Amino acid sequence: MNRVFCFCLVHAASAFAGDLQLTLPPVVYATPDVEMSIYHDNIVLTETPQGYRFEFTCDIGKNEAQRWTATPRDSDVGDHPIAITVKDASGKVLEQGRTTLHVSPRKAGDGKTLRFLIIGDSLTHATVYPNEIANLLSRPGNPKWTMLGTHKPASALPTVGHEGYGGWKWVDFLTKYTAPTPGATAGPLARKATSPFIFPSADGKTGVFDLNRYFKEHCDNQPPDIVTFLLGINDCFGADPNNPDAKINEVLDNADKLLAEFHKAAPKAVFAVGLTTPPNSRQEGFTANYKDKYPRWGWKRIQHRLVQRMLGRLSNREKDGIFIVPTELNLDPVDGYPNNNGVHPNATGYAQIGASFYSWMKSKF
């Protein structure tokens, strides 16, 4: 793989300023004939995004009632600056920011090989977005690819596997271990209690984190080219919405530890960290799941702050092989969710996550 491509991560001076806390990643990735959007609700901190005017200036795409969206053509390959202005109902400018839409060639990676591993929580366990990545990579003009991973739920396509488990956090992949019960059968049920990267010690009483052994036993003795991560919901869901930074600091410390372990074991690999996805726009989704214990506005405040802190902690980390994928932008907070779930998308929303990861992958060739 060609890994020389990178962006200098530059934020607009006002990106984290103001009551709305307009928050933008430096780059949004796209490819021809794959829709890519920036939903208004996902870039600001407000309970009433409909009360503001969002203006986008870009030489491609269009701004709609709830989003800016583009489905690039082959002639759009390259970089397209996007300027965003948020105004109140009277037209007063409240905040401004910039990002860049990078459109990769349709045939980026054609004739090359790609081996990648997907890591995550219940959003990954659902396997819908890994399936979508597989579908997109199966289009003409893509590399010959292999998706690694020991977890293959019944919903997985034949070529799809991953390491995604419901309820898991960054730290679980580093430390989660349960000594095997004599006579117990290994497999998916056992895996829920032990990280795929942890193996029993000689006496079986403790676990040993060993990525090299994982690569040897489950990846044909060679590390992946790309590892993607989509985590953070379980880590931070119970944080104090009024003061989430203490919990977020702990979570990002664990993220750094896991990323460092992967970088040490696979120094030539590229690591794609998806920005934690936004909530369902409907309170009823949270009521259905959590009654009144975890309201939508509480999680929205935590998630928005988590994205800001991820951008601050993980930007400019290309020397460590770390890149940011704006999975929080291209997820419809209305039609991308069912009515009765606060954080788990429907098929439309999951496909949008898959498109974000796929378009980022194309930029690596």
Whole-angstrom Cα distance, residue 256 to residue 240?
Answer: 22
What would the mean pLDDT of 172-181 be, rounded to a whole number? 90
Confidence band of 9 (pLDDT split at 50, 70, 90): very low
pLDDT at 205: 83
Give 98's strand partners. Answer: 83
Does the structure show a pLDDT above 50 at 4? no
Task: Classify each residue of 127-154 as buried b or exposed e, where b means 16 or more C-beta atoms within 10 Å of its C-beta.
Answer: bbbbbbbbebbeeeebbebbbbbbbbee
pLDDT at residue 180, rounded to an integer: 76
**pLDDT per residue over 194-214, tens digit each?**
999 999 998 878 999 999 999
Provide mean pLDDT across the span 219-224: 97
Instruction: Give the pLDDT confidence score for residue 13 in this predicted structure.
Output: 33
Predicted confidence at residue 193, as pLDDT, reads: 87
| The predicted structure's pLDDT at residue 181 | 73
Q: Please count the other Cβ atoms lying within 10 Å of the Cβ belonging to residue 104.
A: 24
- Provide, rounded to the nearest whole percent, the portion of the chain with pLDDT above 90: 88
Name residues whose C-beta falls within 8 Å of residue 326's C-beta, 6 or more positions apart in sequence: 25, 27, 28, 29, 275, 356
Amino acid identity of residue 350, one-letter, is Y
User: Which range has the worst mean pLDDT, 32-41, 61-70, 176-185, 346-355?
Assistant: 176-185
pLDDT at residue number 61: 98
Helix residue ranges per DSSP H, the chain: 122-125, 128-137, 170-175, 188-191, 211-218, 233-236, 245-265, 283-290, 296-314, 347-362
Q: What CATH fold (topology level) applies to the domain 106-362?
A: Rossmann fold (3.40.50)
Least confident piece of the model among 66-70, 189-193, 243-247: 189-193
Which amino acid appears at position 132 of this protein? E
Q: What type of residue sits at position 309? A: R
State the pLDDT confidence band at 11, using cuts at 50, 70 and 90: very low
> In the prediction, which pLDDT does 70 show?
98
Residue-wise pLDDT for 288-301, tens only, equals 999 989 999 999 99
Q: Picking from 70-79, 182-191, 325-334, which range would have the lowest pLDDT averaged per residue?
A: 182-191
Decide if pLDDT at 3 tops 70.
no
What is the Rg, in whole angstroms, of the alpha carbon atoms belonging to the chain?
Answer: 20
pTM: 0.93
Q: What is the pLDDT of residue 185?
A: 55
- Identify the helix (H) or strand (E) that includes residue 243: none
User: So what's the pLDDT on residue 182?
Assistant: 66
Backbone angles phi, psi at 98, to 5 degrees: -140, 150
C-alpha separations of 217 from 43, 140, 203, 315 in Å: 42, 31, 20, 33
User: Rounded to an integer, what distance in angstroms lies between the CA atom of residue 293 and that of residue 301?
Assistant: 15
- pLDDT tens readout for residues 111-143: 999 999 999 999 999 999 999 999 999 999 999
Averaged pLDDT, 160-177 = 96
Q: Residue 203: what pLDDT?
A: 85
The residue with greater pLDDT, 188 or 49, is 49
pLDDT at position 191 over 80: no
**Which pLDDT score, from 0 to 100, does residue 5 have?**
30
Sign of CA dihedral 242, 273, 166, 177: negative
